[in-house]
Amino acid sequence: MPSKVPDGETRGWIVPIGGAENKENDRHILERFVDVSGGADADIVVIPTASRMHETGPRYEQVFSDIGAARVTVMDFDTRRDCQEPGRLQRLEAATGIFFTGGNQLRLTTLLGGTPVAKLIRARNAHGVSVGGTSAGASILSEHMIAFGDEGSAVIAGSVRLAPGLGLTNRFIIDQHFRERDRLGRLLTALAYNPFAVGIGLDEDTAAFIAPDETVEVEGSGGVTIVDASTLSFSSTDEAREGQPLCMLGLRLHILVAGATFNLHTRTAAAGGLLRPKE
């Protein structure tokens, strides 16, 4: 469960990124992550555990350093025992921003789930520390995580598997590489199982900066697909056999681009700095 925000404090930003964010020319997404993590005073811990590539952590370390973070540390976890080491926990306590790289989200949850590190990251976010991640590192941020599923636009019973995520919030379910890998169907299927949550589908090089007041602010070159199941009037999930198409009535869908917003509490979207939509 998400950690409770102490009286008088403000929750930190939650920043899921759809993957393949620009790290070379226009690094606006990563630059803003540094900004919400303290700017020139940012102290960032990069966790590359989802990736099997040794160069992943050092690459983000270099990018965040080049952007201007005061300190950047790569902290990998090879075993669950690593998640109990006092030195690692102390380093995370000092961080103002924690960033998960891409890779395999099940590797992250298998190694970190239920450990002191996972509990500490939830607590630090509740105390104002920004937590972000890209691709697999975005999927794990919420309580309900898409572990894997079929691609395509069809909504099919049994076509997606959910697993417990890091649990910073229970208000949304993330899917990434969204339009590039045609993942609308599996996000809708996940929402059929859990209509309380808001579905957030992130295109590549696109991020949802979720503010302490639960407003989603879009950054990047792509779009964010918001699926609101709170108005769902009918679902055949309880009747359909595995492999059968699902019927879902009353869903609301928004497509947001940079500058647009969505409030997770009121479930309202706004064009922001874009042209006003026609009445």
Q: Write out the catalytic residue numbers.
A: 135, 177, 204
The token duo for 222 is 């792509």
Q: Are 155 and 189 in contact (CB under 8 A)?
A: yes
Q: How far apart are CA 53 and CA 47, in angstroms?
A: 12
CB-side neighbour CA atoms (13 Å) of 59: 13
Nearest one of 92, 89, 102 to 57, comparing CA atoms: 102
Which runs of E-coded beta strand occur in the chain?
14-17, 43-47, 71-74, 97-100, 130-134, 144-149, 160-164, 172-175, 198-202, 206-210, 215-220, 224-228, 234-235, 248-249, 252-256, 261-263, 268-270
Running DSSP on this structure, what letter comes out for residue 171?
S
Instruction: Name the H helices within the chain.
Output: 28-36, 56-67, 86-94, 105-112, 116-126, 136-139, 184-193
Measured at the CA of 260, the angle between CA 14 and CA 130, to 5 degrees, comes to 15
**Which residue carries 């595995």 as its tokens?**
242
Residue 134, classified by CB atoms within 10 Å of its CB into exposed (0-12), middle (13-18) or buried (19+), is buried
The token duo for 88 is 């690692």
